[in-house]
């Protein structure tokens, strides 16, 4: 059950002073856990509501607004993105999280803003990933730099950066491998990519975006910890935020790791990537609106 369904049901009763069926901190904590927000976030917000009620800081009927405020406070403010020519962006995450599709969607956003993107197929471990990115490139009219499956990913990125300078590209979007089950190998490879980018372009990579599948539940928090620790993730993309996805895991990630969320994927189409709006997300989570 989505959080908003649970909360809306609870809020359909009379004020707390008149009925014990009203929204309680315990019920809120349960709802947040069901929404994949995790025990730490659920307990934190529930205890804040409990204290506010006990101290008389929340009037009957004001519980929902209070919860919205507490949830919004979990999201850190986005930090300024370093400038670079070209802007180098790494898409990282586990296999199946939507990295390749997100790279294509970001390329489309760059095109729409008048930029000149270039895609780098640095997930050389999976032939399907290279082919998928090339298909997206053909569809969008965006150049894709790729080599044969199994090639050195750092060599692909080196070629992509050279091509970007030659063609006057404004953005290089690197789709990287996601073999978290071979963590050490993967993290060394990503570290090597970062060194190649830094030698070629000042300040690169300018963004390292972790693509987090909204349907993955609290496994996403463990993934985020690993990637932030090893490759300096500085932002999130919440993918697959459509259908039955709960998406509450982003609250846990934002709270614990203090990572801003920049984008949300709300469908399979190339246009289905929107700037993440914490207020709209929280409103949708609580049944007060929609993220799209």
- Could you tell me the CATH number of the domain that includes residue 120? 3.40.50.300
- Please state the rounded mean pLDDT for residues 161-177: 97
CA torsion 139-144-150-155 (nearest 10°) is: -170
Whether 78 has a pLDDT exceeding 70, the answer reads yes
CA torsion 261-136-94-150 (nearest 10°) is: -140
Q: How confident is the model at residue 33 (pLDDT cuts 50, 70, 90)?
A: confident
Alpha helices in the chain (DSSP H): 3-10, 25-34, 39-54, 63-72, 99-112, 127-140, 153-167, 183-200, 219-231, 249-257, 278-285
The pLDDT of residue 165 is: 96
Identify the weakest region by mean pLDDT among 1-15, 25-39, 138-152, 171-185.
1-15
Q: Are 46 and 108 in a shared domain?
A: no
The enclosing domain of 29 has a CATH number of 1.20.120
State how many domains the chain has.
2
DSSP strand pairing (273-275 vs 261-265): antiparallel
**Residue at 227 is within a domain:** yes
Domain boundary among the residues 72, 103, 127 is at 72
Instruction: Name which residue leads in pLDDT, 10 or 214.
Output: 214
The pLDDT of residue 13 is: 33
Percentage of the chain with pLDDT > 90? 55
- What average pLDDT does the structure give for the chain? 86
**Residue at 206 is within a domain:** yes
Q: Are 240 and 106 in a shared domain?
A: yes
Domain boundary among the residues 47, 72, 97 is at 72
Instruction: Name which residue leads in pLDDT, 244 or 47.
Output: 47
**Residue at 198 is within a domain:** yes
The pLDDT of residue 243 is: 57
Q: Are 93 and 238 in a shared domain?
A: yes
**Residue at 42 is within a domain:** yes
Question: pTM higher than 0.85 for the full model?
Answer: yes
Instruction: Name which residue leads in pLDDT, 210 or 219.
Output: 210
The pLDDT of residue 19 is: 36
Whether 94 has a pLDDT exceeding 80, the answer reads yes
Q: Are 37 and 141 in a shared domain?
A: no
Q: Are 204 and 279 in a shared domain?
A: yes
DSSP strand pairing (207-213 vs 87-92): parallel
Q: Are 144 and 60 in a shared domain?
A: no
**Residue at 292 is within a domain:** no
Identify the weakest region by mean pLDDT among 8-22, 44-58, 234-248, 254-268.
8-22
* 262: helix, strand or coil: strand
Q: Are 210 and 278 in a shared domain?
A: yes
Q: Are 32 and 176 in a shared domain?
A: no
Please state, as a whole number, how many other Cβ atoms lie within 10 Å of the Cβ of residue 5.
13
Q: Are 62 and 92 in a shared domain?
A: no
* Neighbour order of strands in the sheet with 235-239: 144-145, 117-122, 171-176, 87-92, 207-213, 235-239, 261-265, 273-275
Q: How confident is the model at residue 83 (pLDDT cuts 50, 70, 90)?
A: confident
Q: Are 183 and 273 in a shared domain?
A: yes
CA neighbor of 195 nearest in space, from 270, 58, 100, 90:
90
Q: Which residue segment(s) compose the domain that 11 sits in?
A: 3-72
Q: Are 68 and 116 in a shared domain?
A: no
Percentage of the chain with pLDDT > 70? 88
Q: Are 63 and 91 in a shared domain?
A: no
The pLDDT of residue 244 is: 55
**Residue at 68 is within a domain:** yes
**Residue at 55 is within a domain:** yes
CA neighbor of 105 nearest in space, from 79, 142, 131, 80:
142
**Residue at 26 is within a domain:** yes
Domain boundary among the residues 72, 98, 128 is at 72
- Please state the rounded mean pLDDT for residues 19-39: 77
- Please state the rounded mean pLDDT for residues 272-281: 88
Q: Are 249 and 38 in contact (CB under 8 A)?
A: yes
């Amino acid at each position: 059950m989505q959080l908003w369904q649970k909360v809306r049901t609870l809020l359909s009763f009379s004020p707390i002073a008149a009925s014990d069926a009203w929204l309680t901190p315990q019920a809120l904590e349960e709802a947040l856990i069901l929404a994949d927000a995790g025990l730490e976030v659920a307990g934190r917000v529930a205890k804040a509501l409990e204290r506010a009620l006990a101290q008389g800081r929340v009037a009957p009927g004001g519980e929902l607004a209070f919860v919205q405020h507490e949830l919004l406070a979990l999201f850190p403010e986005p930090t300024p993105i370093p400038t670079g020519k070209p802007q180098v962006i790494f898409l990282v995450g586990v296999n199946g999280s939507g990295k390749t599709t997100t790279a294509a969607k970001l390329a489309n956003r760059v095109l729409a803003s008048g930029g000149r993107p270039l895609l780098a197929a640095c997930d050389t471990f999976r032939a399907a990933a290279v082919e998928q990115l090339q298909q997206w490139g053909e569809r969008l009219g965006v150049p894709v730099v790729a080599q044969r499956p199994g090639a050195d990913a750092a060599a692909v990125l080196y070629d992509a950066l050279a091509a970007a300078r030659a063609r006057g590209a404004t953005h290089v979007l690197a789709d990287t491998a996601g073999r978290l089950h071979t963590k050490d190998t993967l993290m060394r490879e990503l570290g090597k990519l970062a060194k190649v980018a830094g030698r070629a372009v000042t300040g690169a990579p300018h963004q390292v975006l972790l693509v987090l599948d909204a349907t993955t539940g609290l496994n996403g928090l463990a993934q985020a910890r690993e990637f932030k620790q090893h490759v300096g993730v500085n932002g999130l993309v919440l993918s697959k935020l459509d259908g039955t996805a709960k998406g509450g895991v982003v609250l846990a990630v934002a709270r614990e790791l203090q990572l801003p969320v920049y984008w949300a994927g709300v469908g399979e189409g190339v246009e289905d990537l929107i700037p993440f709006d914490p207020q709209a997300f929280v409103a949708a989570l609580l049944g007060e609106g929609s993220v799209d």
